[in-house]
Structure 1
């Protein structure tokens, strides 16, 4: 029986744990807490305790290590995989895809289109020369610590907020790119890449940019799709990505120009990698990433479902009573199937002010026909 180490046990790791168990793989999960009863073995430890986890993985004799949807966990995954000679990306790739300053530098060197940026830490004083700008920590994901600043009055509080969220107390100040937001899911094997899907993203906008929902496939023109593919394939080579999943976030401005916002050498969270890709393409991204981590040869056709008919997949996050009421309308629509949801009214707490993704009160994940996608998005408030 193969043994797999999984770093993290949050809700977004559950598809990976379940997929491994379904295939008879012994699961060893390392996390501070959450969903302890699902894996075969659970070890209560912070996911940043790399050396402690490494020693335990050596004792177990793991055959592979993996995580989905977490940059912080991904650092530990690659540290242990490299130390044990398991399938992984290089240390250089891990640095590029988890440190936004290093990421910006390598993309600039490779002529990848990115926003203008400035790096600061607690010893560097920053005086903005133009607005609007985005202030963000270099080492966080999921909109944590991010603020849009439109004039001098907001710069001090934005920097303090970013410092409070940053592990390393380092910050990026970036040109704010207007336009539509997208993410791109890709898989790589021995340095060869394949783009799987483009996701269209919906956020609360300024000042916090909390993600409200996503749709796959994105509503883009063929020209926009070609531009995205061209930039992302160059990006994957630039950050030295060789094995496993990647999640690229980008914007297309009013002129049709593509700008890379960031890339992670992992699957997208928010059910993008685990559910939206599967239900919009038929490709089981989770099982493919799992197989690569365990050293199996990758063949895309092996992970395409012959039963699942690819449709449009949508996830809507529930923050308040208005979201809840909108989502309940969906159940009466034709050609709409609910994949899963957690609209529990008894546990619902009305969140009037949304400050972060942790304010979510649930979600609803749908499969719809292309002809009804716009109506569905409207009914969901997206």
Structure 2
């Protein structure tokens, strides 16, 4: 029996944890919040702020860990690459490669070097010439610290910079051209220098324009665009010598053009893995986890289907005490995971969430109707 350490306790990592347990190995999870889902759910929980690399290394040594698995946030993946500085573990890129991918400024510089399509970085001196611009922390996530500046106003730009830097671990930010268009994600699995499986998901933010809370798998996405996105990912993978495994990309599409917004190698949050599995039957969490266990991404017995499922994070535009939900339309609930209890003070998105909802429809038109009511925030009322 091998010992495995899952570096995350968020509920989004539950499918990963469940697969690890089914593999018959001894599984430990670590995280600093004993009230997190996996901290209460897992058999072997270690309360530890894993951002403290020395303490994390000590835990790995004391447990005699054979495999480490990152969870569903960028910090988890970053820490795992640092824990792997000696190359002892599997499925992890070199730490310097991880830093390039997860730091927005470094990723934009890489994109310019090898010709990847990304929004232009705007130097402060050119701010007035290119509007609107979007200001982001270089190393934050979930839409935190993001502002769009649409006017040639230096004071507004400075306020946006200070706001972004307040959410950055390194107190840095990036100013870039703001691209209008539809946001999607491309989730693909690399094996032997090829993409062996890929999915396109349409994404929207209803409570907060910078935070994805509503999504669905797209089955009729233009094949030529998928091909070009895949080629772009393979170009980056070859240049950075990425190891086999997941490569997850958010991009904005406008007509037949697209721009990469963010690339990660960790499992996306808010149970994205379940959206793929409910919609297509593909065991996403398993495929994500296999490279960390020194296994090839398995496509054995894969028979993809097309089901009509929506994922929605129920959250609020303003902070208030949560009492109850009232649905305004009849829906088929595939799964509903509550993250807050009645009586809890729930912060506004992205800092607070009430529940993760998966709703199933019988047809594409029925899903479109459900999707539309959700985007208009008419599906339910929050009390």
Q: TM-score, normalised by structure 2?
A: 0.85
Cα distance between partner residues in 2 of 1:280 and 1:49: 38
Alpha carbons of 1:20 and 1:171: their partners in 2 closer, same or farther (altered >3 Å)?
same
Q: Residue 364 of structure 1 aligns with which residue?
A: 357
* Within-5 A mapping of 1:82-121: 82-83=85-86, 85-87=88-90, 88-118=92-122
Shift of 1:84: 5.2
Equivalent position of 1:17 in the other structure: 17
Could you tell me how far apart the structure 2 residues matched to 1:105 and 1:195 are?
28
Within the candidate set 39, 52, 56, 1:53 is matched to 56
Q: 1:235 to 1:321 in 2, by over 3 A?
A: closer
**Cα distance in 2, alignment partners of residues 107 and 25 from structure 1:** 40
Q: Is the 8 A contact 2:70 2:80 kept in 1?
A: yes
The structure-2 alpha-carbon separation of the partners of 1:171 and 1:6, relative to structure 1 and needing over 3 Å to count, comes to same
Q: Unaligned regions of 5+ residues in structure 2, if any?
A: 377-383
Contact kept, 8 Å, 1:137 with 1:170, in 2: the verdict is yes
Q: Deviations over 1:124-167 (max 9, x none)?
A: x8855321001011111111111111121521211111110000
Corresponding residue for residue 149 of structure 1 = 149
2:380 alignment partner in structure 1: none
1:44, distance to aligned residue in structure 2 (A): 1.7
Deviation at 1:365, TM superposition (A): 1.0
Q: What corresponds to 1:319 in structure 2?
A: 315
Shift of 1:107: 1.3
Contact in 1 for aligned 2:194/2:234 (Cα 8 Å): no
Distance in 1 (alpha carbons) for counterparts of 2:103 and 2:74: 9
* Pairing of 1:283-298 with structure 2 (within 5 A): 283-298=282-297
Q: Shift of residue 295 of structure 1?
A: 0.9
Decide whether the 8 Å contact of 1:211 with 1:357 is kept in 2: no
Pairwise CA RMSD: 3.0
- The answer to whether the 8 Å contact 2:67/2:89 transfers is yes
1:359 and 1:155 map into 2 onto residues whose CA distance is 27
Decide whether the 8 Å contact of 1:279 with 1:313 is kept in 2: yes
Residues 79 and 192 of structure 1, relative CA distance in 2, 3 Å threshold: farther
3-state SS of 2:230 partner: helix
Q: How does 1:60-79 map to 2 (within 5 A)?
A: 60-79=63-82
**Alpha-carbon distance in 2 for matches of 1:213, 1:265:** 21
Q: After superposition, where does 1:337-356 map in structure 2 within 5 Å?
A: 337-342=333-338, 346-347=342-343, 354=348, 356=349
Contact 2:270 2:356 in 1 (8 A): no
State the distance in 1 between where 2:142 and 2:327 align.
Answer: 26
Change (3 A) 1:320 1:260: closer
Matched pairs, number: 366
8 Å CA contact 2:3, 2:66 repeated in 1: yes
